[in-house]
Chains A and B, each alone.
Chain A
Amino acid sequence: MLALWITLVVLAVALAVLVGLGLRSRRRSRGRTPAPPAQAPSAQAPPEAQPAEAQSAEAQPAEAQPAIPDAAQPELRQRLGKTRGALSGYMRSLRARGSVDDTTWDELEEALLRADVGLPTTTSLLDGLRGRVRAGELRGPEEVLQGLRSDLEACLTVTGGGLTHVPDATNVWLFVGVNGVGKTTTIGKVAKQQTAAGRSVILAAGDTFRAAAGAQLAMWAERAGVEIVRGAEGGDPSAVVFDAVQRAAARGHDLVLADTAGRIHTKVNLIEELKKIRRVAERPPGTVSEVLLVLDATTGQNGLAQARQFLDAVTITGVVLTKLDGTAKGGIVVAIERELGVPVKLIGVGEGPDDLIPFVASEFVSALFE
């Protein structure tokens, strides 16, 4: 083997040329909002099925945004049980201090970093608060904490959070993400909820790579009592999604939940494959009304990179934050929403079929503080 190093030099040449091309114009625009679904304007917000054991379920009017449950206890806090919010350890100390000093800022920084909010976002949030303290707008630690809460909530309320479902169309909700985040399990939960809400659901086993992935999804299909379309192991995922859309149209289902294989966002060929899946799903009669990035709540700063890449590749419309029951953190979504404008739509709080709740910014932020 001729020493491989030479090949690497070749790479450098290749890259020098490409970068030269790249320096021209193409800078990715930041903070763009995801494109609206191809067809009809996002109609009714979905009647999201409340988990069976929730407070006496107020019937949600079909048109409303997922309303903040007016029951006494915020559902998320209830579900998170004993997990402590990232800031909870600091609350007493912060309040005990009479005034706002350097230690206050240090502790707040540490608290936010522990929540995986990340240094850039943390710095920006705290700078803002510091400015308001200097200007006399906020006095004392309690007001600063309040200010932080509302700022965080504001970051997380970028766009409407409901799941989009276009009436009279074969909707496709595509679930994407890196390996191990909980895509398949999430689909199982969504299938159950949407069926309970009166939709006619069918699953597409678009993960044709992972051993027994189809079998795993099939079990969820059975639990939810819905049909599933599978393909050959190692076969073309686009074909499976296509078949599912066709069958859905033929049999009058109005929602296709499409699973995809976990993929690292930096692998070009896998991302290309995903783009193709989306294109195929979009072919009439399919309407891709949601592309959901499933994100593990324990993910650190890489979550932002993931979101960015998937946004660029397949225009994700929302995030599903999973495994929050283990952590009460997931602060990376603050950066994601702030920098990329992608909203969190759902939160996963367990492995069971009912462990999925709508994202409510105030609840999420409260959970961080408790």
Chain B
Amino acid sequence: MFDALSDRLDGILGRLRSRGRLSDGDIDEALREIRTALLEADVEIGVTRSLVDGIRARLVGEALSKSLSPAQQVVKAVHDELVRVLGGETLRISYAPSPPTVVLLAGLQGSGKTTTSAKLARWFRQQGRNPMLVGADLQRPAAVEQLGILAEQAGVPMFSEPSDPVAVAAAGLREALRLGRDVLIVDTAGRLAIDEELMDEVRRVSGALSPHYTFLVIDAMTGQDAVGTAAAFHAALELDGVILTKLDSDARGGAALSVKEVVGRPIAFASTGERLADFDQFHPDRMASRILGMGDVLSLVEQAEREFDHDVAQDGAARLLEGRFTLEDFLAQLQQVKKLGSLGGILSLLPGVPKELKQADTAIDDRQVSQVEAIIRSMTRQERAEPAVIDGARRVRIARGSGTSTQEVNQLLRQFKEAQAMMRSPGMLSGMLGGAKGARLAGALGRSKGNPLADLGVAGGTGATSDLGDLGFSGGPFGSGMAPPKGAGGGGKAGGTKKKKGGRVTPKSGRPGRPA
């Protein structure tokens, strides 16, 4: 999942530098690529069409920027358009004057409603509320039991009874009032949008509750059907928002765009994993990058923050900077990285990865990762610290111990040595973290205390200028030199985008009790 779009556009538009503006022909060609990218991301075909028209309108007559390549400029236009569509006002929950505030969840089978209900309950609790869950899915075997277990994990009470969904909803509401709970979250059974009987049922459930918020729960990997489903649920229930689930997959998530266009209500939350904690506000700019196949660096950062052992990370980082990074360190860091999921996927999200590597369609085989691990584990402490002592005999031993060949052992040692040399070269870090993506990353992280990047003299390291809603493509690969970004999107931004930044900063501060 590399920056395919940017690269493809590079191919088409790369030769345009000399001219002053994009011609209609250029725009058409570029739009074809954009259409392909959107369709491959599962954006519904009608929505794709209107998006492409919107992007054309942005590009026509636009002068070629001096600091961005034509491809970058086009990608920025696309990105901005997607952010505009996905964004709009963030949903701010306003609580009912007389409690409880009732939240109703609906959606197709398997979309993740039950888990989301519990996540929402936990979220409300974190906001200082007293939520209660109602299990109104009486259709799926053991659904109520499932919700009960999750409710316990979330630390909230759950109510249900073996009658019928409408009765359960009404009774649940009464119970919430009796117990003085101020938020009520009602889980319902999955149902097909074309099933009139069941759609009627959920309408009646809604009638019994008069919910303040009705959310459609939709799976991020949904294809072209997303529009039909969303439209039908919206017509039946008048949705207030959408919750997108299973974003921990590598699905590009174009359904988000389709649904947003059709329903016109905010995407309120994003569910990013199976644990109750994997639940967050929705970030339009991150989603836009993801849909365009540009990866989502910031989510990676947050995930890494959650998963990494800080001491291990700290040690490795220190040694890295001091040029003392050994195979032992490599092994330790590798364990950390594995927690983030498939390494192949991560590669695409990192800034500054050279094009050649990306194009190789290697899809890092996680088997090879295991092999590398095995090889290092077969080494002695000393060998890991000083690979120079590894002579022929030792190589054979290591190969045998790890179930690999001496060639593979040699390869690893050679590659590692090269990588070490790369890490020591002064311009490397700035090169890797240069470019817009790197600046964005650096900026995001620069918010944490004592950003050493500034010490290394990397532009954008102060974090002040980098806008989180900024360009998301790699501008500083090895190949194109180590120049720091030229005001990577910092200047010439429309007021609208700036405002978005203000709204976006909350995620970090919004999280409870994390030391900086």
Contacts and interface: CB of A to CB of B under 8 A. Distances in A.
A179 B449 CA distance: 38
B45 A5 contact: no
Contact of A13 (B45, B255, B423): B423
B363 A28 contact: yes
Contact of A114 (B45, B150, B433, B448): B45
A18 B141 CA distance: 45
B425 interface: no
B192 interface: yes
A344 interface: no
Nearest to A300: B223
Nearest to B316: A10
Given A17-B412, A178-B249, A300-B255, A12 B432 contact: yes
Given A22-B365, A113-B224, A179-B246, A12 B42 contact: no
B301 A326 contact: no
A299 interface: yes
Given A9-B320, A267-B341, A302-B250, A2 B313 contact: yes
B223 A299 contact: yes
B194 A82 contact: yes
A14 interface: yes
B360 interface: yes
A300 B221 contact: yes
B330 A268 contact: no
Contacts of A305: 250-251
Interface in B331-372: 333-334, 336-338, 341-347, 350, 352-353, 357, 360-366, 368-369, 371-372
Interface in A19-35: 19-24, 26-28
The range of chain A's interface size is: 35 or more
B458 to A, nearest CB: 10
Interface string B414-452: 011011001100000100110000000110011011111
B433 A9 contact: yes
Interface in A288-314: 296, 298-303, 305
B411 interface: yes
Interface string A1-12: 111111111111
Interface in A249-281: 264-269, 271
B224 A114 contact: yes
B342 A267 contact: yes
B182 interface: no
Interface string B297-316: 00011001100101001101
Nearest to B334: A14
Contacts of B139: 351
Interface string A27-52: 11000000000000000000000000
Contact of B452 (A3, A86, A219, A299): A3
Contacts of A20: 411, 415, 418-419
Contacts of A178: 221, 246, 249
A354 interface: no
A167 interface: no
B249 A268 contact: no
A57 interface: no
Nearest to A267: B341
Interface of B: 36, 39-42, 45, 108-112, 139-143, 145-146, 148-150, 153, 192-194, 219, 221-226, 229, 246, 248-252, 254-255, 274, 300-301, 304-305, 308, 310, 313-314, 316-318, 320-321, 325, 329-330, 333-334, 336-338, 341-347, 350, 352-353, 357, 360-366, 368-369, 371-372, 408, 411-412, 415-416, 418-419, 422-423, 429, 432-433, 441-442, 445-446, 448-453, 515-516
Nearest 5 Cβ contacts at the A-B interface: A300-B223, A180-B110, A300-B42, A6-B317, A219-B141
24 contacts: A3-B317, A5-B301, A6-B321, A7-B304, A10-B316, A15-B343, A15-B350, A17-B419, A19-B347, A21-B371, A22-B368, A24-B411, A212-B146, A212-B149, A266-B250, A298-B223, A299-B222, A302-B42, A303-B221, A305-B250, A305-B251, A323-B108, A323-B110, A326-B225
Interface of A: 1-24, 26-28, 82-83, 86, 110, 113-116, 118-119, 178-182, 209-213, 215-216, 218-220, 264-269, 271, 296, 298-303, 305, 323, 325-327, 329, 332, 351
